[in-house]
Amino acid sequence: MKAAVTVHSKFTISNIDPRLYGSFIEHLGRAVYTGIYEPDHPTADENGMRRDVIELVRELNMPIVRYPGGNFVSAYNWEDGIGPKESRPTRLDLAWHTSESNQVGIHEFAEWCAAADTQMMLAVNLGSRGLDEARNFLEYVNHPGGSEWSDKRRANGRDEPWDVKLWCLGNEMDGPWQIGHKTADEYGRLAHETAKAMRAFDSSLELVVCGSSNAHMPTYPEWEATVLDHTYNEIDFISLHMYFENRAKNTASYLARSIELDNYIGTVAGVIAYVKAKKRSSKDVYISFDEWNVWYHSKERDKATLAGAHGWPHAPALLEDDYNFEDVLQVGCILNTFINRADVVKIACMAQLVNVIAPIMTVPGGPAWRQTIFYPYYFASVYGRGTALKLLVDSPSYRVDGLGEVPYLDISAVHDAHRNAVTFFIVNRHGSEAIELDVSLLEFGTMKIIDDQVLAHSDINITNTAEQPDNVVPKRGEGADFVNGWLGAKIAPLSYRMIRLK
């Protein structure tokens, strides 16, 4: 099977906001406790944070991490996580039917972010709480001193404010499962007033309002139109979430779901444009796709805990999806979609980061390791910085009900003008045929292949485990060449490939 791609140095989509490669830590399952924080672990630092996990996180070069939830944030009292650890309360977490010890709060998380070389993206609770707690939290986090909350922060050992710029106004407020769920009008009003108060403190904040939890919500996309109608001039981003699953065990239709993702982004971009025109606004609002990933492997296993069959356990194993090789391809296609939509999607957070639907797993007291999906995320984050290029793609395709024609070739390209490097991220969705790929690179000058990495495996169900962490690892790609402005490569069936030229 043959596919052709044309790329020109001047045909661009947009600069890529580095925050496209963000992530997410929620107080959920073992993400925090025995994930990032385990004071008794042999690698623990002076704050009780696992150094082995920090090292893996640093590899991913993530610019931001969203915190502290997720569904958790909608009944969270941020004040529970400050002050002496021994006096912090244990609370029942209603979102995940567990107990929260509050041994990690904003101070500990901020220290962890500094060690992991990333920035905080904080969410305020607009479920069980509202504007007042949001403004107090903001004052605690960002005000230098001389006010009640900022002086409490200083008394708690942090002199300098953290100066967090990016704030989420609640989480998935369209979801009936959310504590404090609201209608679009109720939420829109509250988000508007909260944004106004936060901006009165600092007009340079970047604020994210909740969009739909997924494209199948009955309120989608009217939710976006109503919420933006209330908030458009006070906010900067609308958040979208989407999770992927293959319970039907149908690889072809599973890998086509990034087309649905693309349609979802396109629809919400349209709603943004509609509200912008309606408001006669000159301001742009962008998408923060702040939860995305594959999530289905653990759902059966988690039912009992979530239904309360085990009482209120502290940090039980929850949402611990064991990712297989097939999921590598899905994550590759998702990241390609974000790159190809970099003009409207400025922020995206893989949900989540450690143990909970995560690229990084840990054993309490034992090792940390990379799941299969670590690698496509790593390649995109490390090499996908610069300008997204507009590609003319000519690929054979297959039909999927509800989605139409789906190309076998899924591809994105990023131009790093500083290094004059072009990186292609490629997925072959075909189950048995290789793609003979020809890429014409116009106006890039003389280049050569400087890196070629492939992720492929004969068993799409293979996973990485604590005992066998290297079942799926990148290998050097073979046979690609670059001659007279043409890149040629044979892309194996069901494989992921990153080819970098300079």
Residue 171 or residue 371: which is nearer to ligand AHR going by CB? 171
Among residues 70, 81, 316, 376, the one that binds ligand AHR under rule CB under 6 A: 70
Give the per-residue SS3 of 149-213.
Answer: HHHHHHHCCCCCCCCCCEEEECCCCCCCCCCCCCCHHHHHHHHHHHHHHHHHHCCCCEEEEECCC
Contacts of 213 (CB under 8 A, 6+ apart): 172, 174, 175, 241
Contact 454, 424 (CB under 8 A): no
> Would you count residue 351 as binding ligand AHR (CB under 6 A)?
yes
Kindly state the number of chain residues that form the binding site for ligand AHR, as judged by CB under 6 A.
10
Nearer to ligand AHR, 71 or 395 (CB): 71
CA atoms within 13 A on the CB side of 382: 13
Rounded distance between C-alpha atoms, residue 250 and residue 362, angstroms? 30
Rank residues 109 and 408 by Cβ distance to ligand AHR and give the closer one. Answer: 109
Q: How far, in Å, CA of 235 to CA of 168, rounded?
A: 10
35 binds ligand AHR (CB under 6 A): no
Q: Which of 100, 139, 291, 320 is catalytic?
A: 291
Q: Using CB under 6 A, which of 38, 54, 56, 71 touches ligand AHR? A: 71
Kindly state the smallest distance separating residue 142's Cβ from ligand AHR, in Å. Answer: 24
Closest by CA position to 106, among listed 59, 50, 65: 65
The distance from CA 237 to its chain's CA centroid, rounded to whole angstroms, is 15
Residue 390 C-beta-side C-alpha neighbours within 13 Å? 7
Asked if 376 is part of the footprint of ligand AHR (rule: CB under 6 A), the reply reads: no
Contact call for residue 360 and ligand AHR (CB under 6 A)? no
463 binds ligand AHR (CB under 6 A): no
Burial of 70 (0-12, 13-18, 19+ CB in 10 A): buried
Active site residue 224: no
HEC assignment per residue over 204-256:
CCEEEEECCCCCCCCCCCHHHHHHHHHHHHHCCEEEEEEEECCCCCCHHHHHC
For the window 249-278, what string marks contact with ligand AHR as x by the rule CB under 6 A?
A: ------------------------------
Residue placing its CB nearer to ligand AHR in the complex, 69 or 105: 69
**Which stretches of 9-64 are DSSP H helices?**
51-60
Nearer to ligand AHR, 112 or 295 (CB): 295
Instruction: Assess 188 for contact with ligand AHR (CB under 6 A).
Output: no
Q: How many CB atoms lie within 10 A of CB 311?
A: 10
Q: Which is nearer to ligand AHR, 11 or 243 (CB)?
A: 243
Q: What is the largest CA-CA distance in the chain?
A: 69
Q: What is the 3-state secondary structure (H, E, C) of 462-487?
A: CECCCCCCCCCCCEECCCCEEECCEE
Nearer to ligand AHR, 213 or 336 (CB): 213
CB of 502 to ligand AHR, least distance (A): 37
Residue 26 makes contact with ligand AHR by CB under 6 A: yes
- Asked about 172 being catalytic, the answer comes back as yes
Of residues 291, 302, 321, 452, which one binds ligand AHR by CB under 6 A?
291
Say whether residue 410 binds ligand AHR (CB under 6 A). Answer: no
Q: Is 48 in the site for ligand AHR (CB under 6 A)?
A: no
Q: Does 98 bind ligand AHR (CB under 6 A)?
A: no
The one among 38, 52, 93, 172 contacting ligand AHR by CB under 6 A? 172
> Does residue 339 touch ligand AHR according to CB under 6 A?
no
**Stretch touching ligand AHR by CB under 6 A, among 65-73, 321-329, 421-429, 489-497:** 65-73
Beta strand 166-169 pairing with 206-210: parallel
Binding site for ligand AHR (CB under 6 A): 26, 69-71, 171-172, 213, 291, 351-352
Catalytic (active-site) positions: 172, 291
